[in-house]
Structure 1
Amino acid sequence: MLAETICSAASAAGLGIAAVTAYRKRFLAATRIAAYSLIPIGLVLTGVVQWVTDIAFKPSVWLGFGLLGVAWLLFITTRAVERRGGGTRKERKAAARAARGDAVAPAASAPSLGAGVPAVRPQQREKPKQQAAASGSGEDFSDIEAILKKHGI
């Protein structure tokens, strides 16, 4: 009963402010204020205010909200544990099987890199200066090196 009275008073005050605003020739603002001021009385007449006050002042309703919160926390906690790698028992067994590394076809050979393509590791590659010296082509690149050093390259 108190909530309905408060809502009705708020609506009446809002309509009064809308009337004063309209008197000042601010019709658009007055219409907007009137629309906002009709909302509380509309909620009272539809029964929403009574329903909200019944929910807000019953301890059993708050207990129900508390239990819903606890259930939500439990769901979130189990999701966090699964994401960290705990998972369920089936998931852990499947992960252990996959980690063993059993090949699908144990007799299959490793794929080839292709005929004629030698597998050269980066540390086995020769430096360009060593390649030029090892090639034995007889070309002297000292003048080119001097020019490059002169320009800081």
Structure 2
Amino acid sequence: MIAETVCSAVSAAGLGIAAVTAFRKRFLTAARIAAYSLVPLGLVMTGIVDWLADTAFSPVAWAGFGVLGLSWVLFMTTRVVERRRGSTRKERKAARAAERSGAVAPSASAPSLGQGSRPASRPTAAPKGDDDFSDIEAILKKHGI
């Protein structure tokens, strides 16, 4: 009974504020305030407020919420553990498969490129006709790079 009275008072106050706002020629804002102020009245008329009031003051309902929270925590904990175990198992399985198949040779990490057609030594100094790169070098030296 008290919850219905409070919700009705809130709706009446909101509609009064909406009327004052509409009087000030702010019709869009007034319509939005009126919409928000009608929500508590609608909740009272549908009976949701009675249900919420009965639930809020029921120790059995609070115990039920506690059990639901505990179940959610357990569910999330098991998912986290499962993900950690699953990723390590997958990594181990992939490593074992790679060792068994011998797909990676121990000497394959270093590229085996011969001298080929490369010149024996590279020129260390830039040609003196390249002024574009000398400007860039000057800028980089100026900034300490």
Give the TM-score band, short-chain normalised.
0.5 to 0.7
2:126 is aligned to: 151
Higher helix residue share: 2
Moved over 4 A (4+): 98-101, 120-128
Output one character per residue of 1:90-120: Cα deviation in whole Å (capped at 9) or x when no partner: xx8xx88x9599x7xxxxxx99xxxxxxxx9
Given residue 23 of structure 2, which amino acid in structure 1 is its aligned partner?
A: Y
Residue identity (%): 54
Q: Where does the alignment leave 5 or more consecutive residues of structure 2 unmatched?
A: 128-145
**Structure 1 residue 123: deviation in Å?**
7.1
CA RMSD of aligned residues (A): 4.0
Count of residue pairs the alignment pairs up: 119
Taking a change above 3 Å as real, the CA distance of residues 77 and 121 of structure 1, as seen in their structure-2 partners, is closer
Taking a change above 3 Å as real, the CA distance of residues 121 and 20 of structure 1, as seen in their structure-2 partners, is closer
TM-score (norm 2): 0.61
Given residue 6 of structure 1, which amino acid in structure 2 is its aligned partner?
A: V
Q: Which has the larger radius of gyration?
A: 1
The whole-number CA distance in structure 1 between the counterparts of 2:40 and 2:60 is: 27
Given residue 54 of structure 2, which amino acid in structure 1 is its aligned partner?
A: D
**Structure 1 residue 39: deviation in Å?**
1.1
Greater mean alpha carbon deviation, residues 52-61 or residues 27-36:
27-36
Output one character per residue of 1:25-65: Cα deviation in whole Å (capped at 9) or x when no partner: 22222222222111111110110111111111111111111
1:116 is aligned to: none
The whole-number CA distance in structure 2 between the counterparts of 1:33 and 1:77 is: 43
Matched, 1:18 2:18: yes
Q: Where does the alignment leave 5 or more consecutive residues of structure 1 unmatched?
A: 87-91, 104-109, 112-119, 133-140
> 1:19-98 residue pairs with structure 2 within 5 A?
19-85=19-85
**Structure 1 residue 126: deviation in Å?**
4.6
Given residue 14 of structure 1, which amino acid in structure 2 is its aligned partner?
A: G
Given residue 37 of structure 2, which amino acid in structure 1 is its aligned partner?
A: S
The whole-number CA distance in structure 2 between the counterparts of 1:54 and 1:100 is: 61
2:142 is aligned to: none
Taking a change above 3 Å as real, the CA distance of residues 67 and 27 of structure 1, as seen in their structure-2 partners, is same
The whole-number CA distance in structure 2 between the counterparts of 1:51 and 1:2 is: 13
